[in-house]
Amino acid sequence: MPEQIQARVEACYQQAETFFKQRFARPEISFKLRGQKAGVAHLTENKLRFNLQLYRANHEDFLRQTVPHEVAHMVAHQLFGPRIQPHGEEWQLIMRGVYELPPHRCHSYEVERRKVSRFIYRCSCADGEFPFSAQRHALVAKGRRYYCRRCKVTLTFSGEQRQE
């Protein structure tokens, strides 16, 4: 699977080299990207990172749009320097002129969100329920206090926890 992405990266570089009539340094390619981003270009490190989970779920569009999108960032950086906008006119020129693709800033892939724990805090109001993140719950354990804006009572942990 990563071989197809690597082959597409190389094809994109060859296309840019033919268009601009100059050679571009090839980046290191990593597949250790998770979360909502499909790809990331680390310009100063000359490194591309891709999300294999999103690639598996969106194979064709990923190869057609995402890979050239990230390579265009690298090419724009090498051509125009570090002071350009990430999705500015230089990057758009490469997307349209070299790859003949629409310069979409973001993908529209369905991303599965991970479950998060919420710790339920209460006050004396009738409907006073406050779901806290694990980070905020840990701050309470260290002594931080939170208050209800309506009744001004300190929120207390109910002992309940739920997944969202």
Which tens digits make up the pLDDT trace of 90-132? 999 999 999 999 999 999 898 877 788 999 999 999 888 999 9
| Options 10, 17, 45, 70, the catalytic residue | 70
pLDDT score recorded for residue 66: 98
pLDDT score recorded for residue 44: 95
Spans of the chain, pLDDT less than 50 = none
Q: What is the pTM assigned to this prediction?
A: 0.73
pLDDT score recorded for residue 1: 67
Distance CA 68, CA 143 (A): 50
Nearest in space to 157 (alpha carbons), one of 136, 149, 44: 136
Distance CA 155, CA 136 (A): 12
Q: Is 70 a catalytic residue?
A: yes
pLDDT score recorded for residue 127: 87
The rounded percent of the chain whose pLDDT value lies above 90 is: 91
